[in-house]
Chain A
């Protein structure tokens, strides 16, 4: 497993109202960010099904970010509270089954926190780069073998 010299592929599941807008702000503010993330926009972190994270790793993501509104700021009042419990469990389960915890990032990034988004992205990319490509999951099964 070559570490340190590859470009990780990170899938980021983010909520529309806070993190996506914050990411936009990072962009319009011309903040320098690693280009490795592919953003999937959802209305709310409460909509993020744990299966999305499983699917991302299964289909080639080296790392995953899940990000949304800060507690008390959810556009739908409580979606992020549900997500907080759900992802606490998913994270521990995935770690238990052998996923390196460094491959997963969970964050609260508000619409005005463009700089924080930049930091979350850059830090995640470096952390996942150090883990190396997540061949283990995407090379399971499938194919003509």
Chain B
């Protein structure tokens, strides 16, 4: 922690950045911190409760954050992949952000619980994560953590769903999605959902209805999954943000599996690796095409 705080203090006092976006202990748990001076920098922490993906705050359209000035961001390996995504898609210039990578051994599924980090208590995405140390960084802090691994509960659930009949899957998803009220928290917290005019907000013409009835709800979740295909870094924020616990991580994970299997693409923190959606190969699999 001292390493991180000292680095933050230095970056701020040198004038290299105007704000360090990191994590702090709030009155009711860990929350994002926007440290603009040394005193605030001393509140920075990093531990297994730091689940938030702070890359969302780098979108220049968040004018209330952007106007603070050039940011440094405390980023776990998955968060760095999101930053790389923003760089890849020219939403951010490399020189406009300082990346403080933190070595990460995983975060808790429930950061408010007082559990120790272990295969059963860690977030599902962490159980199979191979990246404990982010590559795209300006600074790298934190001790190298022990490798804690587990079985992906999502992969098991996806396999279970894949084995069902189409009607059974349809029922499953209609039931899970029925709680959705189109609050759009899933979209707002996602670092890669940065469009000024989301397709779901367009009304002339309207392709995606805004109403939270089953028809509008299905269209929304489908289009979001499609638009994030190959771009989602599996940070888990969408599922965490959903106030009614819709298992969005199953959808994102399934699409990621398809993209990995067909196009050999995995979320990466290398912005020079092109997106699998804007690109193609002449020998892409086409077994489903007559």
Q: Give A53-72 as 1s and 0s: 1 = Cβ < 8 Å from B's Cβ atoms.
A: 01100100000000000011
- Band of interface residues on B: 35 or more
Identify the interface centre among B162, B285, B289: most chain A CB within 10 Å of its CB: B289
Contact of B226 among A55, A89, A95, A96 (CB under 8 A): A89
Cβ contact of A51, chosen from B162, B208, B254, B286, cutoff 8 A: B208
Q: Which B residues touch A4, using CB under 8 A?
A: none
Number of interface residues of A (CB under 8 A): 39
**Residue B222 lies at the interface, judged by CB distance under 8 Å to chain A:** yes
| Other-chain contact of A142, B169, B170, B213 (Cβ < 8 Å) | B213
Given contact pairs A81-B282, A86-B277, A98-B167, A93 touches B213 in the complex (Cβ within 8 A): no
When distances are taken between beta carbons in the complex, the residues of chain B under 8 Å from A100 are: 166
Q: Let me know if B276 and A85 touch, CB within 8 A.
A: yes
Q: How many A-B residue pairs have CB under 8 A?
A: 122
Asked whether, in the complex, the Cβ of B258 is within 8 Å of the Cβ of A89, the reply is yes
Whether B40 is near chain A, meaning CB under 8 Å from some CB there, is no
Across the interface, which residues of B come within 8 angstroms of A84, CB to CB? 280, 284, 286, 289
| B151 proximal to A (CB < 8 A) | no
Q: Is the CB of B255 within 8 A of A93?
A: yes
**Does the CB pair B263–A85 fall under 8 Å?**
yes
Contact between B277 and A96, CB atoms less than 8 A apart: no
B158-198 residues at the A interface, CB under 8 angstroms: 158, 161-162, 166-174
| B247-266 near A? 1/0 per residue, CB < 8 Å | 00001001100110011000
Q: Tell whether, in the assembled complex, residue B222 and residue A54 are in contact, meaning their CB atoms are under 8 Å apart.
A: yes
Q: List, in ascending order, chain B residues with CB within 8 A of A55's CB.
A: 207, 219
Q: Is B7 an interface residue (CB 8 A)?
A: no
Q: Which of B214, B215, B263 has the most CB of A within 10 A?
A: B215
Task: Let me know if A97 and B289 touch, CB within 8 A.
Answer: no
Residues of B within 8 A of A91 (CB): 288
Name the B residues within 8 Å of A101 (CB-CB): 166
Residues of A within 8 A of B (CB): 49-51, 54-55, 58, 71-72, 78, 81-82, 84-86, 88-101, 105-108, 120, 123, 136-137, 140-142
Residues of chain B touching chain A, judged by Cβ–Cβ distance below 8 Å, are: 158, 161-162, 166-174, 199, 207-208, 211, 213-219, 221-223, 225-226, 229-230, 251, 254-255, 258-259, 262-263, 276-278, 280-282, 284-286, 288-290
